[in-house]
């Protein structure tokens, strides 16, 4: 599967994805993943930033609200249309454009930092995506990205519950499988049953890599890891928000920040 196939999948997902995410059904994003990502982000006020795989622009707007001058790209035109419409309604100075994360349409050393919220893992060539991010960063710049945790969210993952419904463990498998474009179908689990039944499931291509493969790709791109995080909810939140309770047992997401050498 190449970038054109990936673009077709995400373009088909984009309309429903935007509507459901903005309705609050992406609970993992809103209640855990994005807040943790932003909490671990260095100060970006006054910096030129690039959001790679921006989707409908929700997280890009949070970066702009933090004071960054933002540019954002996504491979799906419908995502970009929705992001641009929101920018027109409530301007934050964000420049959105269609773009492939594995072939970024920008000159070398264009940005002080880059982000990729849950997008790198969906690209067919993560090595090229990391190399492209490194290319467009200025010397000393950083890339912070989030992905499904390679160890705890490989192609096979099952939440294990006891007779009372309490989560007791996570069963994983196929960790070492080389997955390149295997289609996974799903819906936002937090959406009401009638909403989920009214739409076709998302078709998301998976490109699973092991943790050691991610580290090797980062090193090959000439980047240095300076921070990693595995966001989780605490026991109280797990009790109050059972939908997120699996992340109290084992991480679903992995956050990594890497930096380009100041001497580059």
175 phi and psi angles, rounded to 5 deg: -60, -40
Model's pTM, two decimal places?
A: 0.96
Q: Where are the domains of the chain?
A: 3-260
- pLDDT in single tens digits along all 264 residues of the chain: 899 999 999 999 999 999 999 999 999 999 999 999 999 999 999 999 999 999 999 999 999 999 999 999 999 999 999 999 999 999 999 999 999 999 999 999 999 999 999 999 999 999 999 999 999 999 999 999 999 999 999 999 999 999 999 999 999 999 999 899 999 999 999 999 999 999 999 999 999 999 999 999 999 999 999 999 999 999 999 999 999 999 999 999 999 999 999 987
Residue 56, token pair as written in the block = 């409908």
CATH topology of domain 3-260: Rossmann fold (3.40.50)
CB atoms within 10 A of CB 85: 12
Q: Which among 116, 101, 118 is positioned nearest to 29, based on CA atoms?
A: 118
């Amino acid at each position: 599967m190449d970038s054109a196939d990936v673009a077709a999948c995400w373009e088909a997902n984009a309309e429903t994805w935007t509507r459901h995410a903005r309705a609050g059904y992406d609970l993992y994003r809103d209640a855990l993943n994005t807040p943790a990502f932003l909490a671990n982000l260095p100060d970006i006020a006054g910096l030129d930033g690039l959001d790679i795989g921006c989707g409908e622009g929700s997280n890009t707007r949070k970066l702009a609200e933090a004071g960054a001058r933002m540019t954002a790209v996504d491979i799906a035109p419908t995502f970009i249309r929705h992001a641009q419409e929101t920018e027109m309604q409530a301007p934050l100075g964000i420049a959105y454009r269609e773009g492939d994360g594995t072939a970024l349409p920008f000159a070398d050393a264009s940005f002080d930092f880059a982000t990729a919220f849950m997008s790198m893992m969906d690209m067919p060539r993560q090595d090229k995506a990391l190399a492209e991010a490194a290319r467009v960063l200025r010397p000393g710049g950083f890339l912070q990205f989030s992905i499904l945790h390679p160890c705890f969210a490989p192609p096979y993952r099952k939440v294990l519950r006891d007779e009372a419904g309490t989560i007791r463990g996570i069963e994983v498998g196929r960790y070492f499988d080389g997955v390149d474009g295997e289609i996974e179908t799903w819906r936002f689990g937090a959406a009401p049953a009638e909403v989920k039944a009214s739409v076709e499931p998302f078709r998301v291509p998976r490109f699973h890599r092991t943790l050691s493969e991610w580290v090797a790709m980062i090193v090959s791109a000439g980047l240095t890891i300076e921070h990693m995080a595995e966001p989780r909810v605490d026991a109280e939140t797990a009790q109050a928000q059972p939908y997120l309770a699996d992340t109290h047992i084992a991480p679903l997401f992995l956050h990594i920040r890497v930096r380009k050498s100041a001497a580059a």
